[in-house]
């Protein structure tokens, strides 16, 4: 079995982060320490997968601090988010200063291979200039990224495949939020790209995203589309994935009780944590 921890949106170096719940970037060292202790308590975690926005603003100093903060006993893999890419040269700096975050591939697009599954890390673009975010939030894949994914999914069809990107593929459903329409809507073309991938690749079992700071779980044609609440925001949640060639399960865990400060929680925005169906699943293929 492959077991990995998934987190997103740590926004290290930020002065303030409170998209839905109260954020505590000034406490990130303590939050990561609690996460590391939890990882060691589990004992059989193969790696940690970070869904992006590891830092809040790109700088060499920020990348170096992130490398130091995640110098753990297990590999740490990163799907770059928009906040990680807010200068034109960002991707080159990440690859130069933090090569370990990219599986030694030397590229921002890479595959994590285990005995049980394949995880394809493909950070989406935000504008016509690759790997750069300034003010546009138009999530998109380039033709070369789609070609990479199609070829990767065609390989080893006997194994379950997971795609990791930063942007969600679907908006948050009204049934979760109680709102009149989907929350954090997504570019229709981006959703359409994934619907096409699903239609042509029955071994694609799960798509993991981030960005919206919400635990979301949408099932389309048997594929689990997941996003995660932000680790920097109360109640400081992570996900555990367990994968075998014939099954996959996910659960969501809060670190709040293991922290030594009282964190504020807004009950009116409990949609960010989601219902139980948004926080966990177990599926056999």
Whole-number pLDDT of residue 96? 98
pLDDT digits (tens, 9 = 90+) for 143-202: 999 999 999 999 999 999 999 999 999 999 999 999 999 999 999 999 999 999 999 999
CA 224 to chain centre: 14
Q: Which helix (H) or strand (E) holds 162?
A: strand 161-164
| Architecture, CATH, for domain 2-284 | 4-Layer Sandwich (3.60)
Helix (H, G, I), strand (E, B) or coil at 261: coil
pLDDT digits (tens, 9 = 90+) for 232-259: 999 999 999 999 999 999 999 999 999 9
Q: Which helix (H) or strand (E) holds 54?
A: none
As given in the structure block, the two tokens for residue 190 are: 């981006």
Helix (H, G, I), strand (E, B) or coil at 1: coil
> How many other CB atoms are there within 10 angstroms of residue 156's CB atom?
13
131-146 mean pLDDT: 94
* Separation CA 103–CA 111 (nearest Å): 8
DSSP state, residue 17:
-
8 A C-beta contact, residue 6 and residue 49: yes
Q: Residue 135 — pLDDT band, cuts 50, 70, 90?
A: confident
CA 10 to chain centre: 11
Give the CA angle between residues 127, 129, 133 to the nearest 5°.
Answer: 55
From the number of C-beta atoms within 10 Å of its C-beta (0-12, 13-18, 19+), residue 58 rates as buried
Name the residue among 217, 108, 123 with its Cα closest to residue 170. 217
Name the residue among 113, 222, 228, 206 with its Cα closest to residue 162. 206
Q: Residue 111 — pLDDT band, cuts 50, 70, 90?
A: very high
Q: Residue 108 — pLDDT band, cuts 50, 70, 90?
A: very high
Whole-number pLDDT of residue 16? 94
Name the residue among 187, 191, 179, 231 with its Cα closest to residue 210. 231
**Helix segments in the chain, DSSP class H:** 28-42, 60-69, 90-97, 143-154, 174-177, 188-200, 276-279
- Largest Cα separation within the chain, whole Å, is 48
**What are the φ and ψ backbone dihedral angles of 241, each rounded to 5 degrees?**
-110, 140
pLDDT digits (tens, 9 = 90+) for 8-39: 999 999 999 999 999 999 999 999 999 999 99
* Separation CA 131–CA 90 (nearest Å): 7
């Amino acid at each position: 079995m492959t077991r990995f921890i998934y987190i997103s949106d740590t926004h290290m170096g930020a002065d303030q982060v409170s998209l839905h719940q109260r954020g505590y970037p000034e406490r990130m060292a303590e939050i990561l320490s609690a996460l590391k202790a939890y990882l060691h308590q589990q004992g059989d975690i193969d790696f940690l997968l970070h869904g992006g926005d590891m830092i809040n603003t790109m700088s060499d100093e920020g990348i170096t601090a992130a490398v130091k903060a995640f110098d753990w006993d297990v590999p740490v893999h990163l799907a770059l988010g928009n906040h990680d890419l807010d200068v034109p040269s960002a991707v080159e700096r990440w690859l130069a200063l933090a090569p370990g975050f990219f599986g030694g591939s030397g590229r921002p697009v890479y595959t994590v291979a285990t005995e049980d599954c394949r995880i394809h890390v493909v950070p989406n673009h935000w504008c016509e200039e690759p790997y750069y975010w300034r003010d546009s939030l138009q999530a998109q894949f380039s033709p070369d990224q789609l070609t990479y994914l199609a070829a990767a999914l065609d390989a080893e069809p006997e194994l379950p495949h997971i795609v990791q990107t930063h942007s969600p593929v679907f908006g948050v459903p009204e049934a979760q939020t109680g709102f009149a329409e989907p929350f954090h809507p997504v570019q229709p073309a981006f959703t359409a790209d994934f619907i096409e991938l699903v239609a042509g690749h029955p071994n694609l079992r799960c798509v993991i995203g981030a960005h919206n700071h919400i635990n979301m779980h949408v099932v389309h044609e048997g594929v689990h589309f997941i996003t995660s609440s932000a680790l920097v925001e109360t109640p400081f949640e992570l996900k555990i994935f367990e994968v075998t060639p014939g099954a996959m399960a996910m659960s969501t865990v809060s670190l709040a009780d293991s922290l030594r400060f009282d964190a504020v929680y807004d009950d009116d925005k409990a949609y960010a944590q989601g219902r139980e169906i948004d926080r966990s699943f177990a599926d056999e293929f």
